[in-house]
Chain A
Amino acid sequence: MILSWLPFYPLISFFILIIFGKRLSWLMATIVSVGAVTLSALSSFIVIQQLAQIDNHIITVQLWQWFSLGTAQVNFTLYLDGLSAVMISVVTGIGALIHLYAAGYMKEDENFSRFMAYMNLFIVAMLLLVLGDNLVLLYLGWEGVGLCSFLLIGFWYQDPANAMAAKKAFIVTRIGDTAMAIALFMLFSTLGDLNIANITELAQQQWLVGDDKAYWIALLLLGGAVGKSAQLPLQTWLPDAMAGPTPVSALIHAATMVTAGVYLIARMHGIFLLSPEVMSYVAWIGGLTLLLAGFAALAQTDIKRVLAYSTMSQIGYMMLALGAGAWSEGVFHLMTHAFFKALLFLTAGSIILALHHQQNLFKMGGLARKLPIETSLFAIGLIALIALPGTSGFYSKEAIIDSLWSSSTAGAALWWCAILGAFLTSVYSCRLFFLAFLGESRSEHQVKDDFSAIMRWPLFLLALLALLGGLFANMVEINLSNVFVDSVSSAQASSHSLVTESSPHWLHYVAIVTPFIGIVFSWFYFADYRQTSHSKTNHEVQYTANNFSDFFLNGLGFDALYQRLIVNPYCFLAKLNRRDIFDQIIMSSRWYVDLWREALVASQTGSLRWYAATLGVAVVFLLGVVLL
């Protein structure tokens, strides 16, 4: 019962906000929207408690029958197991905190209630995504979060750039969605069902490891995941998506929606296990993305874009983990990442607000003195991101790195990738910190620091989670083991093990030390940024553009590449054929007929003798036809 109501609190709130719109006062809107999400959060905690007491650790609630595909039923059924439990706790828990923060952040906006309505709708869609018991319902949530993401990125739609970013996010993810849709069709046509539990079961009964169909289905699902989670090659939308209000970036583009791809792969692990090749693609995509994003983060000037690339990179870790078969590690990282990345974004939001919507790092500096609380919160987020021992990030990331070397689908090369990534993470984190908080103040405006309580308290809670999130490790592990263990073991029993060799013992130490090396390296390399220099003028620290850093700044040129390879040709084709070639072909008959008409009219000269002559010619012609 509690479960079935879970998505509907925010839905009701959405309707209230949309229908009453601007007639609601700020307070009313806040109470309704935040209250609804909090209600969801509370009920999800209760439900998770219940889950632990149930034997098979699965709760399903059928709401109604949606439609039937031949003999298979596609229902509005909510399905709660360990994995979705983790997800709903993140979605509703973090969601509630971010809602609260957003209420403060967006207080001045005239379309406040519309904003909160979208946020609520997003929570609904996200809950359906993680609770759907079949892939179609999952797809509904999947598209729903996409739409909300579109709406929220383009919330300030009057600026064409924002609208553009929203459109880009929607269309690029849509490419992935299409791949996923095809995967669904393929699953239906081969297995005849779209219920996730049934699929996993049927697939493992009918297919051997390495089956062609499993390969293609897994690959297409991966396509969907890659789109949503901003991984290579569909990663380009995420940095632009930062055009949205910062709470949106925190909720959608850091904590929840972008990790939907990770959730999808984890959810469909039964299929992926049947196709080790795709598993290693997952791993490689994760590895390459985390490096790419790390490098790109190094060159960014916009504080939110740094965080966006960092998100991409962290999701790369999750992918890497999934690819290596470290399911629960990946999901755990998803959770801890949600904590610290939400914290980072929200704190960044506060800073941006304090600087009158200034997001350029090179226009910040020296904030540590002016905003001590925000600085320390941000620092907490960063150390969790860097994964210094003891923080939540440490637990999850070390676990991932640990699992790589020995995995048959990942291996040593990817381990080194992960290590390099960890190094990059600490370097760009330090660069960010130095630029924003240390050094000389380069701000053009007065810094204002009159934050209301609702913009502070969520941050404290998140900071706590970011620091102590590691404590959840056991709980998550227990929850997830129910989901993964049995299927993994059965698949492994039927095929070769994913673990090939035991990893050497020095790996662990390298992994722990790497972040420190990064910090030390940055301390010296970015010395300029951190020093409160006496000799240099205020504006000495500037972004030095050269080809190389430009290349990184622009996300390694993917945007330009796609622009040239796909967007421009499509637009060109569209423009070229604006007048519709088929129409022109058909309408050319009009021209043809007219040509004949001209000729025939010309023959109608009006001269009697000419008419008589044609009579004679016609006679001769007809006689000729018949007689010859």
Chain B
Amino acid sequence: MNSAQLIAIAPQLILSFGIVLSLLLIAWQRSKWLIQGFTFFIFVLALIATLDLYPIDNIQVTVLLLVDSYSLVALVLILISALTITVFSGFYLAKYTEVHDEFYLLLQLVILGAAILVISDHFASVFLGFELLSMALVGMVGYFRESDHGLESAFKYLILSATASSFMLLGIAFIYGTTGSLSFAMASNANHLIDHLYLAGIILFLLGLCFKLSLVPFHYWTPDVYQGAPTPVTMLLATVSKVAIFTVLIKYWFSQVNYGDESLTEIISLIAILSMLVGNVMALRQNNIKRLLGYSSIAHMGYLLIILLITSTQNITFAWQAALFYLAAYLLASLLIFMVLIVSHRKNNSDQIEIVHWRGMFWHQPWLAMAVIISLLSFAGIPLTMGFIGKFYLLVQATQQQLWLLIATLITGSGIALYYYLRIIFVLFAQHQEQSIAPQHGDIDNIFQPVIARVTIAIFSGAIIVIGIFPDVYAYFLSA
């Protein structure tokens, strides 16, 4: 372990020390602003460290970790979400007089888990990061005792993710049993492909990742947990967890020599197609916005799987760029819409916001509504937004690999998706006189918008548009 290696994992170290310090801080003084500020500070430090490292040549830190530029970009994305979530958790928690410093602690743990995941190059580190992430998340999902569905969501998430982890671990055990190595690169060997045990191991390992990415047929937990979890936690689930796990998936996949293997490719295509279709179809008539976003995330992860289907090592660079661009677009759009969700509380403080509650938002909260529209258009992949460029990346990749079936499914899926995205957008534009149809509890009232919230929302909306029109801003960053 030399200094270069230590520096390379500086963000993770900062996060780890941050957690310890936070514990001490809590012991010293309990204050919601203090802990929030400290968490924010830690994340900013980690972000600065990450940006400072970028770009980086591949640095192997022990056998467990491998730091490369792509993981740093993923880490940047994760930290950006972490920062936003920290800020907006503050707004979310503002209604409680109680000091919820554990919440921030858990948040830091999740981020640490994610940070470890993105640089891991070994099944053991994957396992550690993975469980750090999910255990902390379970805690967060069930954090609020009094919430309507917190308990149910937490239980579902705990038991299902534990089951899935067990499968994944079994898979790792199989791989280890056949190859004798737990490192990604070492554990891959074309000779083993004929070995059923090895193949089964890969499948089971992928299962664990697919579960977290909520890909069909492992998606069942997603809508329920999305809906039941507190909104900042859903935000976390939708962004940090997805980005970290997908990064590790790509990393694992591209380190293999077997990504061209036919039966595995078939499985991936199958999962991708199913996810695109099922996610979009099930989102169609959802009224709960968080639930709807849960379903739509299923579809988005399905689109992303196209990245994995490459046939030669030449495409790896482009595939990484495409994946990181799409992930960034997805992440920004998700963050944006969840931010709006957080600031648009309802009277009874429930965070179960339905589409009707946003009725006519455009006319009395135009900027908030614009943010929602931008985010939804980005999800739908309409030009002017970053989502379009993301989709463009995917399509370029798919066209080059001639994945016509997947392209056809993607087009169909996008068509279906437009229906529910547009439905929300039209509700935002609904005229006031139609309000008699709205339920009695009325639309969002009491929208409290601190300046920071407004500025953040504006920045994110602006970023989506600017990168949508001038994608080079970000694409250069990727290809540096």
Contacts and interface: CB of A to CB of B under 8 A. Distances in A.
Interface of A: 593-594, 596-597, 600-601, 604, 606, 608, 610-612, 614-615, 617-619, 621-623, 625-627
Q: Is the interface of B mostly helix, strand, loop or mixed?
A: helix
Given A604-B282, A625-B267, A625-B270, A618 B159 contact: no
A611 B221 contact: yes
Q: Is the interface of A mostly helix, strand, loop or mixed?
A: helix
Contacts of B285: 597
A601 B218 CA distance: 15
Contact of B284 (A594, A614, A615, A622): A594
A612 B217 contact: no
B433 interface: no
A622 to B, nearest CB: 5
A615 B164 contact: yes
B221 to A, nearest CB: 6
B220 A604 contact: yes
B155 interface: yes
Contacts of A617: 217
B347 interface: no
B156 A601 contact: no
Nearest to A617: B217
A626 B199 contact: yes
Contact of A614 (B159, B220, B264, B270): B220
B207 interface: yes
B281 A627 contact: no
B229 interface: no
Nearest to A599: B281
B16 to A, nearest CB: 32
Interface size class of B (residues with CB under 8 A): 20 to 34
Contacts of B277: 596
B267 A612 contact: no
Contacts of B182: none
A14 B266 CA distance: 77
A207 to B, nearest CB: 54
B159 A604 contact: no
Interface of B: 155-156, 159-160, 163-164, 167, 196, 199-200, 203-204, 207, 211, 217-218, 220-221, 223-224, 263-264, 266-267, 270, 277-278, 281-282, 284-285, 416
28 contacts: A593-B284, A593-B416, A597-B281, A597-B284, A600-B278, A600-B282, A601-B282, A604-B220, A608-B155, A608-B156, A610-B220, A611-B220, A615-B163, A615-B164, A615-B167, A615-B211, A617-B217, A618-B218, A619-B167, A619-B204, A622-B207, A622-B267, A623-B200, A623-B203, A625-B267, A626-B199, A626-B264, A627-B199
A596 B217 CA distance: 15
B228 to A, nearest CB: 11
Contact of A626 (B211, B263, B284): B263
- 6 cross-chain pairs, A with B, having the tightest CB-CB distances, nearest first: A618-B217, A611-B220, A626-B263, A597-B281, A600-B282, A627-B196
Nearest to A626: B263
Contacts of B167: 615, 619
Contact of B160 (A593, A601, A612): A612
Contacts of A608: 155-156, 159-160
A612 B207 CA distance: 13
A586 to B, nearest CB: 11
A625 B263 contact: yes
B281 A596 contact: yes
A611 B266 CA distance: 24
Contacts of A611: 156, 160, 220-221
Contact of B217 (A614, A623, A627): A614
Contacts of B220: 604, 610-611, 614-615
Given A606-B224, A614-B217, A597 B200 contact: no
A585 to B, nearest CB: 16
Question: Which of B156, B167, B217, B266 has the most chain A CB atoms inside 10 A of its CB?
Answer: B217
Contacts of B199: 626-627
B437 to A, nearest CB: 22
Contacts of B266: 625
